[in-house]
Chains A and B, each alone.
Chain A
Amino acid sequence: MSFYIASSPHAHQRRTTSQLMRIVALAMIPGIIAQWYFFGWGVLLQIGLAVATAYAAEALCLQARERSAFGGLRDNTALVTALLLAVSIPPLAPWWVIVIGVAFSIVVVKHLYGGVGQNLFNPAMAGYVVLLISFPVQMTSWLPPIELAGSHPSLWESIHIMLFQYSTAGYSVEQLRMVETGALLDAVVMATPLDHIRSDLSQGMTLSESLRAPIFAGIAGLGWQWVNLAYLAGGLVLLQQRVIQWHIPVSILATLALCAGIGSVIAPDTLPGLDIHLLSGATMLGAFFIATDPVSAATSNRGRLVYGALIALLVYLIRSFGGYPDAVAFAVLLANLCVPIIDKYTKPTTYGHGSAARRDTKQASSSSKGGN
């Protein structure tokens, strides 16, 4: 008779990848509902299309790699990838945008690197970056949130726009993005809050002038703040369910807050403050859902802190000084590249063996003695 010797931790709560990913997908529901409310049916249509593409691509890849299609399709990782990408792109982007993005995520970023658990990069974010640099116009055409737009295209109208890029009445997406303003101009094309600040600053306006725009009526941009808060709620559920550890989100949010705080003290007229950075763009989605991808993130707890801080620093730097209004995707991909080196230098030591630094000096001294 042989005893099964398992290493710690000994208290298990067995959860399969499939279950974990299902919880992640469920935790995204509040954010998706918020996005649907503020940006219309397009969000749900994009999700449907993304999920269908993801499962089709996954099945094809598994077939080509001669793996059992059922096991792969059941683990829900493709579902989460599809959801993350679908909520990141503008709701009324043409249908082929999301299809190309998801297919690239699944086929190239996931399966060419060896499938589930082997990918170096976060599939959803790599797909997003491909789309962003390939189709910059379509990828930045966000609709104004419901408070400004008054109403959104109906379901049928949304399908029509996604297929043909024109509404049934013949309006283009660009025209749908117009929002009537009472002031100087009759209507302006609405941008996302971060986009808005960037273009205003580039035209020589100060931050406080830029923040007078109607989209900033709330704390950090109408619509977007609630979407971010909804994702925060979903993220807290993930934490409570212990699907993710606290290290990455806390590290990201704390570092971003720190950077934004320092920035707004140094240059309050050009660098957006804490509220904008934390509640605009994809901050919460990135901190809780994207950066915590168990495959491409750092593995040790200390490593996760470093990884999160690196992401937040990159997000802050690119948002403030780089060429793009938001930067979660780029930051996550760059941090993914650094994961091997982060893991190397934050490797936890076995209990009772001292710190890594002490052991190294000990080894060095003993080896030098041996050499003498």
Chain B
Amino acid sequence: MSDALNQAADTAADSTPGSTELTDTSQVDYTEVPTLVRNGLWENNPALVQLLGLCPLLAVTGTVTNALGLGLATLLVLVGSNVTVSLVRGFVPNEVRIPVFVMVIATFVTLVELLMNAFTYGLFMALGIFIPLIVTNCAIIGRAEAYASKNGWQLSAIDGFMMGLGFAAVLLVLGAMREIIGQGTLFDGADLLLGAWASHIRIELFAVDYPLLLAVLPPGAFLGMGFIIAAKNWFDHKRKLKAQPQLAEKVARARVTSN
């Protein structure tokens, strides 16, 4: 099955100069890029607005290191799957597109999993089941379905990168919050991800005799996530309010002149 898929991917890659892809490359509309950046990072952030992929988001953000590891893994898979899905979208019958997307994603997840197993073994053990579970991360298949299957591979790659970056950013913020509140440190165990030198970047903000287990345990993730979403909405609300008074001012001036 995966052989067949690889073949399909290969043929797709080979046929890049082919007719369908050629029209795509010639028509890439890079004016869309700023929108993609804004959507991925803020307006349509997969974690904060779409609320997708919450299971790994809530489960592994106990420390910044874990969050960073999972964020990078998701980012890689998202870019890879978006590009591949976009390349094969001309050949995949509409009826079986979802299984094909899942196979593509599973391939990339396997790649990332083997890479992590080889190079960051400690983190691989720490993240455990949540690496294979990236396959089921709705944020990834959501982008494949909503964007990559309708757009050229260049834009899909940018979309995947920005969505992945937005997701990773939320993971990092949540991980940092939980690690600081829970145990008063930052980058604890970073050497698992970045190599031995990184054990020096561990920051101990304050020493706690008793860790606030709530922040470290899953309930803390739910609470923290709620606070982050609330903060984003509050910020958007403030921005909207800021935009409104100018409008009101204009109206007021118009009335004055009419009088």
Query: What residues of chain A have their CB less than 8 Å away from a CB belonging to chain B?
Result: 100, 108, 130, 133-138
Size class of the B contact interface (CB-based, 8 Å)? under 10
Q: Is B206 an interface residue (CB 8 A)?
A: no
Q: Which of B43-95 contact A (CB under 8 A)?
A: none
Nearest CB of A to B207, in Å: 15
- Annotate B210-228 by CB proximity to A: 1 below 8 A, 0 otherwise: 1011110101000100000
Nearest CB of A to B61, in Å: 17
Could you list 13 further interchain pairs (A-B, Cβ under 8 angstroms) beyond the known A133-B214, A138-B210?
A: A100-B212, A130-B214, A133-B213, A133-B217, A133-B219, A134-B212, A134-B213, A134-B214, A134-B215, A135-B210, A135-B212, A135-B213, A137-B210
Of the A-B pairs whose beta carbons lie under 8 Å apart in the complex, a sample of 10, sorted by A's number, is A100-B212, A130-B214, A133-B214, A133-B217, A134-B213, A134-B214, A134-B215, A135-B210, A136-B213, A137-B210
Query: What residues of chain B have their CB less than 8 Å away from a CB belonging to chain A?
Result: 210, 212-215, 217, 219, 223
A34 to B223 Cα, complex, angstroms: 36
Nearest CB of B to A178, in Å: 22
Nearest CB of B to A346, in Å: 29
Chain A's closest residue to B210 (CB) is A135
The interface residues of chain B lying within 8 Å CB-to-CB of A130 are: 214
A262 to B253 Cα, complex, angstroms: 78
A133 to B222 Cα, complex, angstroms: 15
A134 to B214 Cα, complex, angstroms: 5
Nearest CB of B to A8, in Å: 40
Q: DSSP class of B's interface residues: helix, strand, loop or mixed?
A: helix
A133 to B223 Cα, complex, angstroms: 14
The interface residues of chain B lying within 8 Å CB-to-CB of A136 are: 213
The interface residues of chain A lying within 8 Å CB-to-CB of B210 are: 135, 137-138
A100 to B215 Cα, complex, angstroms: 13
A231 to B61 Cα, complex, angstroms: 43
Nearest CB of B to A212, in Å: 34
A108 to B210 Cα, complex, angstroms: 22
The interface residues of chain A lying within 8 Å CB-to-CB of B219 are: 133
A108 to B219 Cα, complex, angstroms: 13
Nearest CB of B to A309, in Å: 27
A138 to B212 Cα, complex, angstroms: 12
A278 to B79 Cα, complex, angstroms: 60
A282 to B176 Cα, complex, angstroms: 37
Contact A108 B214 (CB under 8 A): no
The interface residues of chain A lying within 8 Å CB-to-CB of B214 are: 130, 133-134
Nearest CB of A to B85, in Å: 40
Chain B's closest residue to A97 (CB) is B210
The interface residues of chain B lying within 8 Å CB-to-CB of A135 are: 210, 212-213
The interface residues of chain A lying within 8 Å CB-to-CB of B212 are: 100, 134-135
Nearest CB of B to A232, in Å: 32
Residue with the greatest number of chain B CB neighbours at <10 A, chosen from A133, A134, A137, A138? A134
A137 to B209 Cα, complex, angstroms: 12
Partner of A108, one of B213, B215, B217, B223: B223
Nearest CB of A to B130, in Å: 22
Residue with the greatest number of chain B CB neighbours at <10 A, chosen from A108, A133, A137? A133
Name the 10 nearest CB pairs between A and B, nearest first: A134-B214, A134-B213, A134-B212, A130-B214, A135-B210, A133-B214, A133-B213, A133-B217, A133-B219, A138-B210
Nearest CB of A to B221, in Å: 13
Nearest CB of A to B122, in Å: 27
Nearest CB of A to B56, in Å: 22
A130 to B182 Cα, complex, angstroms: 13
Nearest CB of B to A322, in Å: 17
Nearest CB of A to B66, in Å: 20
Nearest CB of A to B184, in Å: 14
A134 to B215 Cα, complex, angstroms: 8
A256 to B175 Cα, complex, angstroms: 42
A138 to B202 Cα, complex, angstroms: 29
A136 to B210 Cα, complex, angstroms: 10
A78 to B84 Cα, complex, angstroms: 58
Chain B's closest residue to A136 (CB) is B213
A130 to B220 Cα, complex, angstroms: 10
